[in-house]
Amino acid sequence: MSTPYLAHFALNEPPFSKEIPDGELWLPSSKQAIVDTLLEALDERASVVLVGEPGVGKTCVLRALRHRIPAAGFRLTYYHNATLGRRDFYRQLCAALGLAPAATAGSLFYAVNRYVEERALERIHPVFLIDEAHLLHQDTLDHLHILLNYGWDSRALLSLILVGLPELRERLALRHNRSLHSRLHHRLDVSALTPDDTTEYLRLRMERAGCTREVFASDAIVLLHEATLGAMRDLDRVAAAALRETARKKKKLVERDVMARVIETADTRERDR
């Protein structure tokens, strides 16, 4: 079903949809640098913790990593159901790796451990990317450093990338998590977009959807950035709403008053929940 505002702005597709191929994702230089650091960490066979507030672009960074990680020599496995206990965590991890689930927690761990060792024989380095890791049960978190121990802790056969909200960093810093924390040699933060990043982001997303002219007034962009604090997910949501409202008014430029009204409406709905 076509959306009226697309025709109004001569757009080929919704400009702020998340359905974008990994290779076409836009990232500012600060987030490109994080992807570069992640690749360097994996080259070193190291493990990483990556944190950031909701909506600032953590998943975009991970998708860019997925696009750039060499297919030869690495095996990336994504895991996001972090709310399970240890046995079910390993059961789901086995499923993600294509392994037959076992009955006991020990057998599940052995299957994953054996999988990692077999990949080493093939000269392939497994990377387990655990999203929403701030939600991990403590019994799972307690066990992850054991998963990194091979050959009396003398062989780096596996890399973990733990991704989550800033409270993940706080949890890992606790004394009883120090065995895992000490093995996470790279500790990265994903920050929100700057005002200039926001301007470029809006322009490039509109261009990708087929509109090459300026659609957002500069003072509307300032207001949008201030309201969303540069969080990409909120930018997408509010910018799309502003386009729809502008199209309803049959205007070609998203002006400050329209942006202010859209932001106020969104804030009112949040307060009413």
d(CA 199, CA 205): 10
Domain that holds residue 208: 193-272
Are 51 and 157 in the same domain? yes
Q: State pLDDT tens for residues 193-249.
A: 999 999 999 999 999 999 999 999 999 999 999 999 999 999 999 999 999 999 999
pLDDT tens, residue by residue, 150-169: 998 899 999 999 999 999 99
> Residue 81 is part of a domain; what is its CATH number?
3.40.50.300
pLDDT at 19 > cutoff 80: yes
Q: What is the pLDDT of residues 53-97, one digit of tens each?
A: 999 999 999 999 999 999 999 999 999 999 999 999 999 999 999
Reported as a single tens digit per residue, the pLDDT across 165-197 is: 999 999 999 999 999 999 999 999 999 999 999
Q: Percent of the chain scored above 70 by pLDDT?
A: 97
Q: Tell me, what's the pLDDT at 169?
A: 96
pLDDT of residue 1: 43
Domain boundary among 138, 171, 190: 190
pTM equals 0.91
**Tokens 């799309």 found at:** 240
The confidence score (pLDDT) of residue 101 equals: 79
Which tokens in the block code for residue 151? 């050959």
CA-closest candidate to residue 111, choices 122, 100, 120, 121: 100
Domain boundary residue, one of 127, 155, 190: 190
The domain that holds 264 is classified in CATH as 1.10.8.60
Counted domains in the chain: 2
Residues sharing a CB contact under 8 Å with residue 191, sequence separation 6 or more, in sequence order: 30, 52, 56, 230
The full length of the chain comes to: 273
Same domain for 79 and 42? Answer: yes
Q: Which tens digit of pLDDT belongs to each residue from 239-259?
A: 999 999 999 999 999 999 999
Please compute the mean of the pLDDT values over residues 115-124 and round it to a whole number.
Answer: 96
What is the structure's pLDDT at 267?
65
Same domain, 121 and 42: yes
190, 208, 231 - which closes a domain: 190
Look over the chain and give the mean of its residue pLDDT values, rounded to a whole number: 93
- Dihedral (CA of 235, 236, 242, 245) sign: negative
H/E element, 231: none
The confidence band for 3, taking pLDDT boundaries of 50, 70 and 90, is confident
Residues 179 and 73 in one domain: yes
